Amino acid sequence: MTFFRRYAQHYGALVGLAILGMVLLLALLAPLIYPVSPWQGVGEPLLGPFEDPAFPLGTDMLGRDIAAGLAYGARVSLLIGVVSTAVAVVIGVSIGALAGFYGGRIDDLLMRFTEFFQTIPAFAMAIVLVAIFNPTITSITLAIAIVSWPPVARLVRGEFMSLRSREFVQAAVVVGQSGPRIMLTQILPNTLSPIIVTASLMVATAILTESSLSFLGLGDRNMMSWGFMIGAARTMLREAWWMSVFPGVAILVTVLAINLIGEGLNDAMNPHLRGRKG
């Protein structure tokens, strides 16, 4: 059975993929649908949803289009989610691979270093990092990456430790392959499934973290984001519910979609679960 057929057996995973596809499309097409900057007031302030057909999701207190904000916010959310996860995976895989493969002192050192990051509350550290450097999209992405790599490192370390003693790895040592080459070509391909599954779930967490930072006013000043929209709307919660509800729903739906995809990937990639539903 091909990989996609196995993935498609998971009904929720297909729904997740469809939702994420729509969000991605929205993000890509945002400048075409809404040529005007989302920061620009374009209509009456505080229009409710469907009051004016030009602004189906309403406007905020400065007359900015909520729908345009959502479309541009999707770009920021997805961009930060993907890039910060990629950075975190690179850091986590490198540290985990070195620790798991070489063991001993190196393992001790790297794992104590990892624990150092794990013992600090992730969100608090992200706030501190963003506050120290100016809140730009780069610093936010890096801050999220820095707080989210430790679980990856732990996972990869465990996989490397168990694979290192496998006979095919021993065979690679015996034929004279060097350590880095064994790690990259022999062991790493065999750890990809759990890494991909974890990474897909980390994207969801990263989007949530970014939203939380923006909500607290630590977002990039030049980029519209879902978290910022909710943060800006909190003083108007009773007067203009739509200002916070729509971005909230956007976050919820996107994170849910990514989680569903992660679960689907897990089921499709985990050989132990294959045929479980048959």
Question: Using CB under 8 A as the criterion, which residues of the chain lie in contact with another protein when the complex forms?
Answer: 166-168, 170-178, 181, 185-186, 189-190
The label of the residue with tokens 């780069």 reads 138
The whole-angstrom separation of Cα 180 and Cα 178 is 6
Q: Which is nearer to another protein, 53 or 176 (CB)?
A: 176
CB of 42 to another protein, least distance (A): 53
Q: Which is nearer to another protein, 136 or 177 (CB)?
A: 177
Q: Which is nearer to another protein, 146 or 163 (CB)?
A: 163
Contact (Cβ atoms closer than 8 angstroms) between residue 247 and residue 226: yes
CB contact set of 53 (below 8 Å; sequence gap of 6+) = none
CB of 172 to another protein, least distance (A): 7
Burial class (CB in 10 A: 0-12, 13-18, 19+), 39: middle
CB of 137 to another protein, least distance (A): 36
CB of 179 to another protein, least distance (A): 8
CB of 269 to another protein, least distance (A): 13
Q: Which is nearer to another protein, 166 or 234 (CB)?
A: 166
The whole-angstrom separation of Cα 66 and Cα 39 is 10
Neighbours of 168 (CB within 10 A): 11
The whole-angstrom separation of Cα 41 and Cα 24 is 25
CB of 102 to another protein, least distance (A): 11
Helix (H, G, I), strand (E, B) or coil at 65: strand
CB of 99 to another protein, least distance (A): 18
* CA dihedral of residues 177, 180, 186, 192 (deg, nearest 10): -170
The gap from C-alpha 275 to its chain's centroid, in whole angstroms, comes to 29
Please report, as a single letter, which amino acid is at residue 223: M
Q: Which is nearer to another protein, 197 or 208 (CB)?
A: 197
Contact (Cβ atoms closer than 8 angstroms) between residue 57 and residue 242: yes
Q: Which is nearer to another protein, 177 or 270 (CB)?
A: 177
Q: Which is nearer to another protein, 169 or 213 (CB)?
A: 169
